[in-house]
């Protein structure tokens, strides 16, 4: 049997939430996706609130993953403990709310979704994502596993995919908001793409107003980033997985632009 899993890039602001609400259901139908994982850590621009998480789930996400902005909206803390369909990076050091591994039923299968975060140039105060992956993959009973690796460096993302080759059906990168064209299947059957991209305003710098980013790079005073206006895009990849062999057989970009 083939399982089709849709992975959607970081949802940015109101524009990202809007296009997701309007287009995710149709994209799932068009691609035949059985399961959808959406990174929602930028739903507030930085961070996500419980109301925004519920909106993403209502749009058709089966699971929400997060990243380095998990705690920018601190009210998400209690929600992370209550709602099993939202994950935060498993390798946060110390005692924090929520979980980084969820096991979900789909098509008679148990799908383990792991949320991990890189340390290189992002957050050194984390446990090793590689050791955390080893530990998580030895927990619980599941039929196949997939990973959202939220990381800055393309090298760290690639290293993680090769490290997990043959142990997970898919690994995809999030965080950098720029879609990559390196969809591939590694030698032992793990599907991989370096970065999904983002779901949010097209005419922007990573979803924010360009002049805000320009100001920073010209040495101006820091200011609160504001979401860019205008038409949006939805960046995503479809992973087709042979559930008997537990291997990925195809990885395809399924981007939408308006």
Token digits of residue 225:
């980033």
Clarify whether 69 is annotated catalytic: yes
Instruction: For residue 21, give the 3-state DSSP assignment.
Output: helix
Token digits of residue 258:
């308006």
Token digits of residue 90:
């498993």
CA distances to 45, 49, 181, 186, 215 from 193, in Å: 24, 28, 7, 10, 32
Pairing of strands 2-8, 236-242: antiparallel
Q: Please, which residues have CB within 8 angstroms of residue 82's CB and are 6 or more apart in sequence?
A: none
Token digits of residue 203:
């005419």
Identified catalytic residue from 69, 150, 177, 212: 69
If phi over 0 gives left and psi between -120 and 50 gives alpha, with beta otherwise, what is residue 37?
beta
Q: Could you tell me the end-to-end alpha-carbon distance of the chain, in angstroms, rounded to an integer?
A: 34
Pairing of strands 184-185, 170-174: unpaired
Spatial CA neighbour of 148 closest among 9, 2, 4: 9
Q: Which residues are catalytic?
A: 69
């Amino acid at each position: 049997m083939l399982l089709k899993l849709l992975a959607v890039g970081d949802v940015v602001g109101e524009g990202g939430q809007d296009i997701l609400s309007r287009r995710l259901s149709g994209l799932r139908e068009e691609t035949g996706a059985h399961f959808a994982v959406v990174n929602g850590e930028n739903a507030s621009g930085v961070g996500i609130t419980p109301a925004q998480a519920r909106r993403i789930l209502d749009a058709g996400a089966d699971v929400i993953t997060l990243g380095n902005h998990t705690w920018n909206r601190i009210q998400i803390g209690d929600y992370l403990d209550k709602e099993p369909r939202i994950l935060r990076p498993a390798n946060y050091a110390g005692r924090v709310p929520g979980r980084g591994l969820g096991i979900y039923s789909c098509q008679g299968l148990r799908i383990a979704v792991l949320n991990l975060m890189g340390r290189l140039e992002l957050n050194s105060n984390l446990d090793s994502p590689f050791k955390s992956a080893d530990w998580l993959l030895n927990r619980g009973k599941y039929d196949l596993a997939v990973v959202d690796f939220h990381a800055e460096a393309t090298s760290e993302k690639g290293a993680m995919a090769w490290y997990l080759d043959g142990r997970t059906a898919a690994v995809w990168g999030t965080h950098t908001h720029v879609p990559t064209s390196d969809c591939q299947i590694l030698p032992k059957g793990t599907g991989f793409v370096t970065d999904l991209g983002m779901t949010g305003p097209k005419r922007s710098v990573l979803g924010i107003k360009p002049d805000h980013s320009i100001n920073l790079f010209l040495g101006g005073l820091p200011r609160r980033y504001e979401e860019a206006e205008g038409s949006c895009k939805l960046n995503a990849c479809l992973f087709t997985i042979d559930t008997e062999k537990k291997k990925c057989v195809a990885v395809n970009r399924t981007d939408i632009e308006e």
